[in-house]
Structure 1
Amino acid sequence: MTEITYIVNHPVKLSDHFEIPMDQSKWDGTSYEKKGDNTVPVRDRIIHFKNLLIPKTNYAQKYCTAGLYLMFFNDFKKFYVGIATKHAKTPEGILKRIRKHRAKATATYQITQSINHTEEEPYGWRSLAKARYKKYGNKDQLEDCYLVTINPKDHENLVEDEKNKLWFIENLISSNEHDVIKKILSLIPGDNLLKDWVSFNDINTGTAHKHEFVYNFG
């Protein structure tokens, strides 16, 4: 079995590499409704999908391709781990995925993209968005958010069973006890006690495979 190397990139402050326009449309801070298959905030649409995160450096081009991504919300001690596929029938790169998550985190309503504002129990995107709105109102630019991307060294090794292998890694690192998370949190500003941090992503078992993590923290 081929060992897959996952390169864990240095955490970056999201707003250092992306412009994040404020969603200044009115919202009561709590209300969501069903629109088709999706749950969305009761709010106007004012931001085009591509303008949810506007690259201002080459970070997105270099690192927001495919693999895994982690978003750390420092003010709330919550982190999210997700996957971004390259070989799926409908591939979605990391940039597209985190644009959707920006919309969820700030309760921004989008009709140009299908975005389901999910709520995993006991805490999900809707809980985070409500807490953020209570703290920041409609001036939220995700200043507390740190992003980490994890890129397979040779993504072609993931052609077979790509999604399930990425899910396996997602499952592994969704714990504040995992070494990857410990190393990342040591680089994020603040008093980051491991016990305070909790992941809120859905978890799938995935397919176990031989792997190693290499840290690009230079």
Structure 2
Amino acid sequence: MKVQKLFRNLPQDPASLEPFPDWQELSPTFEKLPIGDCTLLVASIQDEDFDKLLHIFQSREEAMGAFLSVAMEHGWEEVPQTYCIYHAQEINGKLIAGLSIEGQRSTYEQTTVEQMVQTMARVHRVVVYSSDLLTYIKDIYPEIDQKAYVIAREIAKKLGKAPELEELAKIYGMPIESLEERLSLIEKLLENPLRTPYGEVNLPPFSYPLAECE
């Protein structure tokens, strides 16, 4: 298991950070990565380490889940390894949403949006171009804000502003008439360097923490 958190001021001994002092059976190793004015701390714990807690928990999986829950309460998150791409647009007067996972694309109408949310819940990150699209599903999936990687937001952090998706489609020479084509373009935008009307930019990978550093 790997968990991560951003820090503005990292203590000398990362093992002193919560929740590790209360989990003495575990032997985490730490990796520090500078990100702007912050430091990304990644704690790696061997899965076998959790077997030392079987006198408390019924299984390794239960011990891992308990540790992760406590770590999340202290601002850590599991290092994301999976993601889906989400987009939505109005088609013939109906709002249609689309997901792309490992190249497999699916579309959803209002009657099947809960099925889409269940799929989102199974991945670590939801990649979307604009945060406006998140408003469509916040009511039924309020956790989306904590796992959404918003490309336009990341571009704006680097360049001060972000172009419309249509502008990027022209730069990349990709059609975006259909929902599937828009999903393909958004997936392309995850590749660095990203080309914009204001110049090229390198964005952090989807796995980087979304929270601000403490």
Q: TM-score, normalised by structure 2?
A: 0.28
Structure with greater Cα Rg: 2
Q: Which has the higher contact order (CA 8 A, sep 6+)?
A: 1
Q: TM-score, normalised by structure 1?
A: 0.28
